[in-house]
């Protein structure tokens, strides 16, 4: 009788581990890039005077601030 179970050899196991590590590295690098971008945007926003001025009717013009 032929055994139809899929056998996983050592090469495939190593490749799967490397793939998982690469995915984790990619996730971490994306997170670092996003954090750096957010820090730069926040620094610029606070240097320029904070968030936008908004009243109940909508956005105020620059002259109204």
> What integer pLDDT is reported at residue 24 of this predicted model?
98
pLDDT band at 53 (very low <50, low <70, confident <90, very high): low
Q: Where are the domains of the chain?
A: 10-59
> What integer pLDDT is reported at residue 10 of this predicted model?
87
> What integer pLDDT is reported at residue 28 of this predicted model?
98
> How far is Cα 2 from Cα 43, in angstroms, rounded to an integer?
66
Q: Per residue in 11-50, pLDDT tens?
A: 889 999 999 999 999 999 999 999 999 998 888 777 777 6
With the CA atoms of 20, 24, 29 and 32 taken in that order, what torsion angle do they form, in degrees rounded to the nearest 10? Answer: 180
> What integer pLDDT is reported at residue 47 of this predicted model?
74
> How far is Cα 13 from Cα 2, in angstroms, rounded to an integer?
23
């Amino acid at each position: 009788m032929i055994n139809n179970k899929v056998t996983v050899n050592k090469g495939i196991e190593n490749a799967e581990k490397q793939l998982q590590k690469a995915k984790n590295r990619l996730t971490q690098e994306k997170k670092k890039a996003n954090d750096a971008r957010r820090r730069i945007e926040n620094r610029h926003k606070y240097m320029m005077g904070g968030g936008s001025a908004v009243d109940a009717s909508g956005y105020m013009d620059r002259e109204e601030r």
